[in-house]
Amino acid sequence: MKLFTYATSPYARKAQMALEFKGVAFEPIERCYSLDRKEDLRAASERAEVPVLVLDDGRTISDSTIICEYLEDAYPTPPLFPKDPFARAQMRTLEDLCDRGFDAVSYGYWMSQLRKNSPEADAMARAARDEFSRLLARLEAALGERQFFFDNVSIADLSAICYVPSAPAMGIAMDSYPRLSAWMNRMRAIPAVAADNDRLKRALANMHDIASELEGPDGRIHWRDTRLEWPVRKGFIDLVVREFRADKMMFPPDAC
Ligand SMILES: N[C@@H](CCC(=O)N[C@@H](CS)C(=O)NCC(=O)O)C(=O)O
């Protein structure tokens, strides 16, 4: 099995941690289409986004949520989904909160840093910090007194660990979130999560600046669904329009 992955992509990290947690052997292939435009990823997935799982017979599965569901079905032990149907639904809701909510806000924050000379940069950073803090409060409440979000480590934990630790880098102190802070330490004691954290640290240490992480060879940046909705919803549509008019937006390739 192979996994198209990328050390700083929360989606790829989630899928890779799930594979490692379950002890499934795979070969990681580090890719980011908007940065390297490599055709193998484009051929494996019509959206050219990571992660993509390539089975031994060449069949492919795209999208982190779908990959994790496949892994749970194909390799049920150790489980990463709760047994109870309602808990499973709640777990998917938390995963969605990370994939859509946290991801869009984080993207908005890093866009504000990348375009820090733009007129809306400060307001955009503030809006992102406010919303990220509210999302942290939701996770803090969802965790309650438990060790993990559900009885055992689940996809909800693997999703959240890709976002919660970035709070300080956005200027948000973790003091108001003592349960999440303790949970982060518990998570990092899990070998698959520790390995992910090491990969992330190495990637961040090698990163030049935000531009080199986001802008492709033609200066365009990957945009999609909730990442686009967030700045529009928050009133930063002028920035979106400028990016579009300057041909700085790259959308997933057409599906057909
Ligand atoms: N819904 C997808 C989203 C995947 C996604 O957006 N991946 C980003 C990296 S965080 C990507 O590959 N972007 C394409 C690019 O930058 O070229 C999933 O859950 O896997």
Q: Examine domains 2-74 and 85-210 and report if their fold is the same.
A: no
Task: Could you please state the CATH topology (level 3) that the domain comprising 2-74 is classified under.
Answer: Glutaredoxin (3.40.30)
Give, for all 256 residues of the chain, the pLDDT tens digit.
Answer: 999 999 999 999 999 999 999 999 999 999 999 898 899 999 999 999 999 999 999 999 999 999 999 999 999 999 999 999 999 999 999 999 999 999 999 999 999 999 999 999 999 999 999 999 999 999 999 999 999 999 999 999 999 999 999 999 999 999 999 999 999 999 999 999 999 999 999 999 999 899 999 999 999 999 999 999 999 999 999 999 999 999 999 998 875 5
Cα 6 to ligand 1 centre (Å): 9
Give the residue extent of every domain in the chain: 2-74, 85-210
From residue 2, give the alpha-carbon distance in Å to each of 5, 48, 50, 124: 9, 15, 12, 38
Q: Please indicate whether residue 157, judged by its CB atom, sits closer than 6 Å to ligand 1.
A: no
Mutation test of ligand 1: which of 11, 41, 52, 107 has the most ligand atoms closer than 8 Å to its C-beta?
A: 11
- Ligand 1 mutation pick, 34, 38, 50, max ligand atoms within 8 A of CB: 50
DSSP class of residue 97 equals I
Indicate yes or no: pTM above 0.85. yes
Tokens of 39: 């055709």
The C-alpha atoms of residue 177 and residue 136 are separated, in whole angstroms, by 7
Beta-carbon neighbour count of residue 117 at 10 Å?
6
Rounded CA-CA distance 161/193 in Å is: 8
**CATH of segment(s) 85-210:** 1.20.1050.10
